[in-house]
Amino acid sequence: MTFFNKKEEVLDIKLTQFGKQLLSTGRFKPVYYAFFDDNILYDGGCASIVEDQNDIEPRIQENTPQNKTQHLFSSVETNFSSYLDPRDDISTPEIDRIRVQSTPEKEFSLVDALGDSDFQSTGAPNWKLTFLEGQIDNASYFLTSSYQSLQIPQVNLNLIYTTKILNEKETEKGITLGGQIEQAVFPDGSSLNISYNDGNKNLLLMVEEGGVTFDKENFEIEVFTVDPADGSYSPLSFVKKAPSIVNNLLIVDDKTPKDVEIDSTFVEFFFDVNVDSKITKRDICEGIGKVKSKGFYVDDAIECDDVPTSPFTVSPYKEGEADPVCEDE
């Protein structure tokens, strides 16, 4: 690491190891750019600096040394195998199998890009997360790892599903483990029972971002698997849908392309993720009804009065307390 010579140097650009690999194979096609100000201290009072307003600009641009670009955050030799795409044939040369950027470079460097906010809002951008189905186990303000701690709120929850093979007698008796999701019966009378134990069949969230301009596409969803050994993240891919416009005609087809083999590197191998219009209004209204029945306020703009929903049981006692047992007189 060296410092900029502000009299002679202005810009320092370096490719990451992943960028070098893409460039060497002709697949480096930069499309986006972002600005960062992690190394700038705007308020000198946070560092016990007493200064006038006119002194802030020269302190930042002229009197503060700036480090040059850091493009490596982990060992290239020890992490090389983690860059390889497991879907490629093992006989494929390693230089052609690199598809995944390493976790430190992608997730723990240049993470706080400057964003935008709504000019008509007086508050900072903020998140609002409402659980219509599911329950929070715990939450924290930071994402911690062996690399660094990032100010990214973490909301943790568990959805527990149980899979059990039932014999013919158990199938006839209708034995289930908690709430049943699906039961496939085989010709010999046995069955595969999938059930849930925590009272929540699915996870249904209402996610809103305030203080920003509302656009048609407001969110990006990424799914990762976490290695419990070192806490590293491995991204999963979503199956790309068939093009919606073919020969200048709109084709409405949400089916998965037939030539795609869904394996453990795809999100759809584990579960389905539905958003916006893909979620039925009935499911949303049922979730809102359950939350309101527990005494919580839900600020929503969805009219549910004319939507038929499934009946559910409401206990008059506080959540988490068992219903009292009345003794016989």
- What integer pLDDT is reported at residue 67 of this predicted model? 86
How far apart CA 95 and CA 189 sit, in angstroms, is 51
Quickly state the pLDDT bin for 9 (edges 50, 70, 90): confident
Quickly state the pLDDT bin for 52 (edges 50, 70, 90): very high
How far apart CA 290 and CA 203 sit, in angstroms, is 13
Neighbours of 108 (CB within 10 A): 19
Mean pLDDT, residues 52-59? 91
Quickly state the pLDDT bin for 36 (edges 50, 70, 90): confident
Residue ranges per structural domain of the chain: 17-107, 161-196
- What integer pLDDT is reported at residue 282 of this predicted model? 85
Residue in 105, 115, 108 with CA at minimum distance from that of residue 142: 108
pTM over 0.95: no
Tens of pLDDT along 148-181? 777 888 898 887 777 778 777 776 665 555 455 5
Q: Which two tokens stand for residue 32?
A: 């986006």
- pLDDT at residue 253 is higher than 60: no
Q: Phi and psi at residue 228, in whole multiples of 5°?
A: -65, -20
How far apart CA 217 and CA 238 sit, in angstroms, is 17
The residue among 203 and 242 whose pLDDT is bigger is 203
Q: Are 290 and 133 in contact (CB under 8 A)?
A: yes
